[in-house]
Structure 1
Amino acid sequence: MRELPKELTLPSGLVPPSPPDPPATPKDAATVMLVRDTSAGLEVFLQRRVMGMAFAGGMTVFPGGGVDRRDADTSVAWHGPPPAWWAARFSCDDALARALVCAAVRETFEESGVLLAGPDATSVVADARPYAEARAQLVGRELSLAGFLAEAGLVLRADLLRPWSNWVTPVEETRRFDARFFLARLPEGQRADGDTTEAQDARWQRPADALDDWKSGRSGLLPPTWTTLAELEECESVTDAMTRERVITKLMPRVARDGDTLRIVLPGDPRYDTAATHLDARPGDQR
């Protein structure tokens, strides 16, 4: 695990002074890094979330969101590794694994307009814009992914996704997610857009450039996003990224106080086991 830089701190107000008691239960979620090859190297699709949103407002993120109960529908036409394969990678049961993959495909379509599905097991739609009405209905929860794919005669292409990582929001936060991160190549002919009410802008960037934007203060990154960008920076191409073997361990950061600054610490950091339960505690206070 790459060590987080000391400059990576939490935005003011993101974490309450005292954690909920009991802690909020994490909601299962899927996050997808869309990548493409360019003459300048691998690029990833990023969105800046609208300021004022309840979670990660103003931060630069990958498309993604919470699992909908209908994502577990077993009627979805499916091609690729079966749910049991995904369950083994993400250390969960088959039903949740199915829901996570479906959520990854649905959220990617809702938030970026990219559709990881095709007329059959060997093809992908070349242009997802004809499905704009269905996209709006999915966003409004008027339509389920299973219903959309069935009506459109499409097959979910699970083989276009790769498992990448698993991050759990710290217990100190009031809104928590158990987010599984996926990697996907932008299908040929399709385009990613920022046509979502959750993002104020969207762009393709080389991971190194996105990290430079964060370092210069032009964007904000949460630890999972920073870490993933740093990992993608090491990949020479989409194929390199898609074929890397990943051993996925559930990571739950903790929040530690450094003077008046709040930092995320990861397992292995000497501060991890001594992170204050109440963030208004100062170093040396009785816990």
Structure 2
Amino acid sequence: MPIAINSDEVLTPPVAAATVMVVRDGPSGLEVLLVRRHGNSGVLGGVHVFPGGKLDASDGHADSTAVDRTPVVCRDVLREPTLEPAMALGLHVAALRETFEECGLLLGQPEGAAHVQAVRALTATGTPFADALRTRGLPIATACVYPWSRWVTPRVPSVTNKRFDTRFFVAPAPDGQAVEHCAHEATEAVWLSPRGGLERYWAGEIDLAPPQIMSLSELSRLGNVAQVLTTARSRPPSLIEPEPFDEEGCRVICYPGDPRHSLSARVWPGPTRLVHRNHRFEPEGGLAALLG
């Protein structure tokens, strides 16, 4: 696990980003899509993550006639009343765009398989993603991604010196579309059950960053896509601002509900802290604590 443990605060403001937990019902239950970042990536190299990335300047300027919801509605579903509507729209578009760029999936497009290569060709020449969809007569389907949580990187680094303010979304996998990971950014894309992903992490077969660990722990308590989407619709997105500290020579990251966190209310039923030991982040109570 790449880790940048030090006691110095990173004073730069976090960069806005979006990530999507794409889910589907597999033969044995719920599955989620993970991509493995290239080892030479500047952020989380070699780590399995959900598709996502930074907000682009063009994301918040999509043609209003092509978007299925207004920027104000996008802000309202994020439950962030002080957020600029254009930023809210941009975060939704970024979620759609990054999933397409990293996995080749056009979320919310029932006939998307017929348009993937054409959209790729347009974006390869510099056409913004939203404009490429409009050119193909496709709506910008912001309603197909559901806000799940918001993670803000702490000022004191525990994994990377870069800071992000990332909105996590969930979305059902589109029917009839095959995953094709971006060779420039990832080395594989894999469907795993949330439990299976955590078990592979615990066995040392894959690396996961703390937000992925805790998000998979949440998903492991749900059985299918319908339950995931019902959960997303039934609650506001959780705001998660991890608070790291050092204890007995180990870096600890605590989350809301932990005795050392400034917020006493829990945001999930699983463990409230991860400890960096054995070259990875582990919860007190081991794998069983993550799986509930």
TM range (shorter): 0.7 to 0.9
Deviation at 1:41, TM superposition (A): 0.5
The AA in structure 2 aligned to 1:14 is: A
Q: Secondary structure at the match of 2:215?
A: helix
Question: Which of 26, 39, 63 is the matching residue for 1:38?
Answer: 26
- Following TM superposition, the consecutive aligned residue runs of length 4 or more in structure 1 with deviations greater than 6 angstroms are none
What is aligned with 1:19?
A: 9
- Is the CA contact 1:128–1:190 (under 8 Å) kept in the aligned structure 2? no
1:265 corresponds to 2:265:
no
1:157 corresponds to 2:141:
yes
Deviation at 1:192, TM superposition (A): 1.4
Deviation at 1:238, TM superposition (A): 0.8
Relative to structure 1, the CA distance from residue 172 to residue 52 in structure 2 (aligned partners, 3 Å threshold; closer, same or farther) is farther
Q: Point out which structure has higher relative CO (alpha carbons under 8 A, 6+ apart).
A: 1
The AA in structure 2 aligned to 1:18 is: D
Which stretch shifts more, 245-254 or 97-106? 245-254
What is aligned with 2:99?
A: 108
Per the normalisation by structure 2, the TM-score is 0.80
Residue-pair matches, total: 253
Deviation at 1:194, TM superposition (A): 1.9
Q: Secondary structure at the match of 1:47?
A: strand
- Is the CA contact 1:116–1:156 (under 8 Å) kept in the aligned structure 2? no
Deviation at 1:86, TM superposition (A): 2.8
Structure 2 CA distance, aligned partners of 1:249 and 1:42? 21
Question: Which of 115, 125, 131 is the matching residue for 1:147?
Answer: 131
The AA in structure 2 aligned to 1:67 is: L
Structure 2 CA distance, aligned partners of 1:229 and 1:134? 34
Structure 2 CA distance, aligned partners of 1:88 and 1:238? 23
CA displacement 1:193-243 (0-9 Å, x = unmatched): 223322122200011000001111212222211111111112211111112
1:113-262 aligned at under 5 Å gives the runs 113-118=104-109, 123-131=110-118, 133-134=120-121, 137=124, 142-173=126-157, 174-244=161-231, 245-262=234-251
The AA in structure 2 aligned to 1:198 is: E
Structure 2 CA distance, aligned partners of 1:135 and 1:254? 42
Deviation at 1:154, TM superposition (A): 1.2
Structure 2 CA distance, aligned partners of 1:133 and 1:187? 17
Structure 1 CA distance, aligned partners of 2:2 and 2:18? 26
Structure 1 CA distance, aligned partners of 2:108 and 2:193? 26
- Is the CA contact 1:60–1:220 (under 8 Å) kept in the aligned structure 2? yes
- Is the CA contact 1:254–1:265 (under 8 Å) kept in the aligned structure 2? yes
What is aligned with 1:85?
A: 73
What is aligned with 1:277?
A: none
RMSD across aligned C-alpha pairs, in angstroms? 2.0
Relative to structure 1, the CA distance from residue 269 to residue 38 in structure 2 (aligned partners, 3 Å threshold; closer, same or farther) is same
- Is the CA contact 2:123–2:129 (under 8 Å) kept in the aligned structure 1? no
Structure 1 CA distance, aligned partners of 2:200 and 2:54? 27
Relative to structure 1, the CA distance from residue 236 to residue 145 in structure 2 (aligned partners, 3 Å threshold; closer, same or farther) is same
Structure 1, unmatched stretches of 5+, are: 1-10, 274-287
CA displacement 1:78-135 (0-9 Å, x = unmatched): 12x54323312431231111000110111010000001254xxxx4423444236337
Structure 1 CA distance, aligned partners of 2:178 and 2:122? 14
Structure 1 CA distance, aligned partners of 2:244 and 2:137? 47
The AA in structure 2 aligned to 1:213 is: R
Structure 2 CA distance, aligned partners of 1:33 and 1:12? 22
Deviation at 1:268, TM superposition (A): 2.7
1:51 corresponds to 2:39:
yes
Structure 2, unmatched stretches of 5+, are: 263-292
- Is the CA contact 1:207–1:229 (under 8 Å) kept in the aligned structure 2? yes
**Percent of aligned pairs sharing the same letter:** 34
